[in-house]
Chain A
C-alpha cells in the first residue's frame, strides 16, 4: 500500500450555471482578437507584416465606398443563407446543403428570367422569387423526407446534393442555356431589365439587402413570438418532450427544411438577379458553406445573423483588397476558420469555469 500525499494545486473545470452577460460579450471579443493574433503570426511566418496587412484590410473596407459596397454585396447572400441554415440548426437539422439549395434557387430564377423576357417587372420578379424559394425548398425536401420517414442522416444527403446542384448549373451554362451570342463563354444571356432586382439609390447595392433584412425580422418574430417557432424551439431542445406534448415532429422536419432551403434559394436568386444578372459557373464562392459559420457565430439568432453576415462580408472584401499587396485571398479562409475555432472554444469558457483546487492535506501532517 502506497503512502503518498495528494498532489497540491490541481486544476479542475466546473460548470458555471449563471454566466454573466459581461462574460458573454467579453469572451467572443477576446476570441476575435486571438484569432487575428494567430493569423498575424501566420502572416509573420510567411514574411508579411501583419499590422500592415490588417490595417490595409481594415481601411480598405471601412475607408472606401468600394469596400463598403462590396461588403454589403457579399453580406446579402450570407445573410439569406445564414438565416435559412440557422432555422434548420435550431431544430438540430444539420442542413449542410446551403450551397446546393442556393444553386437551385439561382437556376430556377434564371429559368424564369430567360424564358419570360418580355413580361413586366412586377410579373417576372415575383415569379423569380417564388421559383427560387420553391426550387431551394424542394432541393432540401429531397433530404427532409427520407430523414422524417426513414431517419436517413440529413448531414450526408444535403452535402452530397450540393455537388449535384453545382454540376446541374454547370451543365446548363455549358450546354442548353449558353448564350448563343456569348462567344462560346459558359454564360447565359444577360437578364432583361424586368428580371433585375432594382439597385438602391444609385449604388450597386441591390434590393436583395431589403429582402434579407425583412426576412431576418420575420424569422425573429416567427421563432420567438409564434406557435410554430415555439414548436421548433421545443423540438430542437428535446424531441421526447415535443412528442410528449403531442407535436408532429415529422411535419416540422419537412416544413423547416423546406423554409431553410427556400431561404438559401432566395440567396441564389438575389445573386443572379441583383448582382451577376446572368447565370455563370462559380457565381457563388461557397456562400452556402460560409453561411454555416455565420449562422453559428450568430448563435442562430436571426437579427445577429445580419450583423455577423456583414462582418463576414467585410472579411471577404478585405481578403480581395489585400491581394494587391501579394497576400493570398485564402488568408480570409484561414481567418474564418480560426475565428470559428476560437469563438466556439470561448463558448466553453462562458459556460464553464476553471478553478485551481487548493492543495489537499497531505498524509504526513494528518496521520496523528
Chain B
C-alpha cells in the first residue's frame, strides 16, 4: 500500500482485573480505507479503540500518528491528533440544536459564539460528504440514524482524519445501515481513515477494505479486500470451525397459547405500548423484530406480569389472565428470559443452587412446610449443570462470577426445565459468543419442537429470520405484521422497522 500510514498502534497491551483485554496488538490505518475491526464480545476491539481515542492509557505499547510517536492524556489530545470516536451510546444534549451540540466543548470558541458561521461550516461539511443534516434542528427531534450523523459531523467539524465507529449498525434499520455505509465510503474516498468495530461478518464482507480480527485480546488475522471469505473470517474470529447446525423446522403449530387483544401499557419514561394484538400457538416461534426501545421490553413485561396494562386483555391457553399475578402466570406455564440476565433473571450474589430454585422455591418440589429442601435443590442443580453443559467451579459461589454464556445457559436451564407452555425470550443471545449463541438457539428450537409457544424478541434481523415462523415488528409501541417467514425478507422487515406499513396483515399500525 502506497498511501501514507495515518495511525500505527504498536504492541498495545491493556490489562483489566482478571483479563488481558489487549495483548501486544499491532494495527495500522491508512488514509482512504475502511478498516473493520472484527471480534466477538470481549475480544478487546472496543478497548483497543478506546485507547486510540485517548480514553484509556495502554499498559504497554506505542502510538504513532503520521509516523511520530504520541501519548494521549485525554480524548482531547486524540481529537487534536485527528482521531475521533463515535460511541455506541451517543453523547448529545437533547434540548440543544445540532450546531450547539457540535461546538459543545470546543475551546477555540469565542465567549459569544457566532453560530451563523458554525452553521454554514456545517452546511459545507454536510454537502461535501453527502451527509444530510439540519444544523438548526433540535436533537430530541432527530431519529437515531440522524443522531448518529450528528456525531459523525461533530468529529469531522473538529478536523478528524481518523473516524472510529463502535458497532454503528446496532441501532439502525437495514436501510439506515446502507445509507451509513455510503456516507462512510464517501468519507474514505475523500481521504479519511474509517474504523468500524463490529462482530457482524456480513458487514465486513460489505464494506471492509481491510479487516483486522481480534480474539481474546490477540490480533489473529489481517486481510485485505478480496483475500477473505466469510468462512475464513468466522474461523479467525472463533478460533475453530463453527458450522451452525441450526435449520428451521417447518412449524407444526397447534392450539393457541398466548393471545393479546389490543393491549396498551405505559413505560417508565411515558412512552407506551399501543393497541398490540397478537397470538402465538403451540410449536411456533413468533419473532418480534425492531430497533430496541420501541416497546420490546414493555411487551415482555406485560406478558410476564411485571408491568400492568392500561387497556386490553391477555389470554393464556384461552384463560383471561389480564389481572393475574406474576406467580399465577408462572404456574400457568409462562417462562420469561429477561433482557437483564444478571440482576433480574438471576440473583448475582447467590449461588447456582439458590438461583435454580428462584421460581420454584415455594412449591413442594423444593420446600416442605416453611423449610427449603436443600438436598433436592442441590441434586436438581447438579442435573441441570451437566445436562446444559454449564461450566462452573462451584455450585455455591455467586453466579456473578460465571461468564455470559454460562449465565444464559443457567437461566435457560431453569426456565426450560419446568416444561413451559409459553416462552418469552428477550435478546437471548445478546453479548454471547458464536458458540454460546448456537447453543441458545438450539435450546429454543428444542422447546419449540416439544410444543412450547415461543415469543422471541430480538434486535438482530438475522436471528429473527433464522428462527421464527411468523414475524412482527415493533415500532413506536405498535406492532406491524405479523408476516409469515416464507413470505418476507430483510428488506420488508427493514421498512416495517421504520414505520412503513408495507403489506401489513393485521391492523394496529396507523399513520406515521
Contact = CB atoms under 8 A, between A and B. Distances in A.
Given A243-B326, A360-B59, A17 B344 contact: no
Given A226-B372, A246-B325, A361 B347 contact: no
A15 B370 CA distance: 37
Given A237-B350, A361-B62, A366 B374 contact: no
Interface string A148-178: 0000000000000000000000000000000
Interface residues of A, number: 35
Contacts of A245: 326, 330, 358-359, 361
B256 to A, nearest CB: 24
B374 A361 contact: no
A237 to B, nearest CB: 4
B17 interface: yes
A137 to B, nearest CB: 20
Interface in B294-310: 304-306
Contacts of A225: 371-372, 374
A360 B401 contact: no
A30 to B, nearest CB: 23
Nearest to B326: A246
A181 interface: no
Nearest to A225: B371
Contacts of A360: 58-61
B281 to A, nearest CB: 26
Contacts of A25: none
B81 interface: yes
Interface in B46-73: 57-62, 64-65, 68-71
Given A4-B71, A17-B401, A228-B370, A237 B349 contact: yes
A15 B17 contact: yes
Nearest to B331: A246
A241 to B, nearest CB: 5
B466 interface: no
B359 A1 contact: no
A246 B331 CA distance: 10
A74 B69 CA distance: 68
A367 B62 contact: yes
Contacts of B372: 225-227, 230
B145 interface: no
B32 interface: no
B11 A361 contact: yes
Given A241-B343, A246-B330, A367-B69, A361 B17 contact: no
A2 B65 CA distance: 11
Given A244-B306, A246-B326, A234 B17 contact: no
B336 interface: yes
Contacts of B338: 244
B362 A238 contact: no
Contacts of A12: 15
A199 interface: no
B359 A233 contact: no
B340 interface: yes
Contact of B344 (A1, A5, A244, A246): A244
Contacts of A234: 347, 350, 354, 358
Given A227-B367, A246-B326, A357-B59, A1 B340 contact: no
B69 A363 contact: yes
B370 A240 contact: no
A244 B336 contact: yes
B344 A241 contact: yes
B396 to A, nearest CB: 12
A3 interface: yes
A52 interface: no
Interface string A308-337: 000000000000000000000000000000
Which 10 pairs of residues, A with B, have the shortest CB-CB distance?
A: A14-B17, A246-B327, A246-B326, A237-B349, A240-B344, A15-B17, A363-B69, A4-B71, A241-B347, A367-B69
Given A231-B361, A234-B354, A367-B64, 14 more contacts: A3-B71, A5-B71, A6-B58, A12-B15, A225-B371, A226-B371, A226-B372, A228-B370, A237-B347, A238-B349, A240-B343, A241-B345, A246-B326, A246-B359
9 contacts: A1-B68, A225-B374, A228-B370, A237-B349, A238-B343, A240-B343, A241-B344, A243-B306, A360-B61
